[in-house]
């Protein structure tokens, strides 16, 4: 199905302009992030696993539907499409480790589904913001942070999306500029986990994979 090693896709994610945007602005957007066959397989797997989706938890561990309304299911190494996506995130992490002092040790990701009208209020995936520095190795500076989520990723699994359907990811960059990013098919957004962002309600179901690159090791 794939003539080249599908992991090479993650090299293309970190082209020079994308890496530059991720460092300077705090985020980058990648269109056609996955080969079409993998994108299709992930959309299908997300739908097939619908019965296993559960109400998402907020950072403090509880359920709070006034903050977020989506349902999620963690990708697992046995998932036939999901494992290939996890491998891409791992490759992204090792590429970031090579290019920056990012210290990424593991990845995690979940399928997410936002029903019509669901939202996720303003939040940071990693609440530690002040001592977060992601800078180019050439400048010999380091990335430091206390909490373990370094980089957030969101990959959109919608077969089509119209701007009037809303459901934007509303994201503040590290110059305090706000951006409205639509959940377009096969679009990947990579951003520093300390950035403030929210998911706006949509008029159609909105599906995605949210993933994180972490500095901590798995303890078991």
User: Which residues in this chain contact ligand AKG in the complex, by CB under 6 A?
Assistant: 120, 125, 154, 169, 197, 199, 208, 210
Identify the bridge partners of residue 198 per DSSP, sorted by sequence position: 170
CB nearer to ligand AKG: give 151 or 154.
154
Binding-site partner at residue 38 among ligand AKG, Fe ion, none, CB < 5 to 8 Å by type? none
Task: Using alpha carbons, select from 190, 200, 197 the residue that is nearest to residue 26.
Answer: 190
169 binds, among ligand AKG, Fe ion, none (CB under 5 to 8 A by kind): ligand AKG
Hey, what are 28's tokens? 């980058």
How far apart (Å, rounded) are the C-alpha atoms in residues 13 and 124? 23
Q: Decide if residue 125 touches Fe ion (CB under 5 A).
A: yes
Min dist CB 123 to Fe ion, Å, is 6
Question: Which residue's C-beta sits nearest to ligand AKG?
Answer: 169
Q: Is 70 in the site for Fe ion (CB under 5 A)?
A: no
Q: Which conformational region is residue 109 in: left (phi greater than 0), alpha (psi within -120 to 50 degrees), or beta?
A: beta
118 binds Fe ion (CB under 5 A): no
Instruction: Determine the size of the site formed for Fe ion (CB under 5 A).
Output: 1
CB of 169 to ligand AKG, least distance (A): 3
Q: How many CB atoms lie within 10 A of CB 175?
A: 8
Exposure string of 80-108, with b = 16+ CB inside 10 Å and e = fewer, is ebbebbbbbbbbbbebbeebbbbbbeebe
**Residue 186 or 208 having the CB closest to Fe ion:** 208
**Residues making contact with Fe ion (CB under 5 A):** 125
């Amino acid at each position: 199905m794939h003539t080249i090693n599908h992991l090479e896709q993650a090299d293309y994610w970190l082209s020079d302009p994308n890496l530059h945007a991720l460092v300077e602005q705090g985020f980058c957007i990648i269109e056609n992030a996955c080969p079409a066959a993998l994108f299709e397989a992930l959309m299908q797997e997300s739908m097939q696993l619908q019965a296993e989706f559960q109400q998402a938890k907020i950072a403090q561990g509880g359920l709070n539907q006034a903050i977020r309304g989506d349902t999620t299911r963690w990708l697992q190494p046995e998932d036939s499409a999901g494992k290939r996506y996890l491998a891409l995130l791992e490759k992204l992490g090792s590429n970031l480790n090579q290019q920056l002092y990012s210290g990424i040790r593991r990845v995690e990701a979940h399928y997410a589904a936002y029903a019509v009208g669901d939202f996720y209020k303003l939040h940071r995936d990693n609440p530690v913001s002040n001592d977060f520095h992601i800078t180019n190795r050439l400048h010999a500076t380091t990335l430091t942070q206390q909490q373990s989520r370094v980089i957030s990723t969101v990959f959109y699994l919608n077969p089509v999306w119209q701007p009037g359907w809303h459901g934007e990811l509303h994201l503040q960059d590290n110059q305090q500029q706000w951006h409205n990013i639509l959940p377009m098919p096969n679009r990947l957004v990579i951003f520093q986990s300390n950035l403030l962002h929210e998911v706006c309600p949509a008029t159609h179901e909105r599906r995605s994979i949210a993933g994180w690159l972490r500095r901590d090791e798995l303890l078991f």
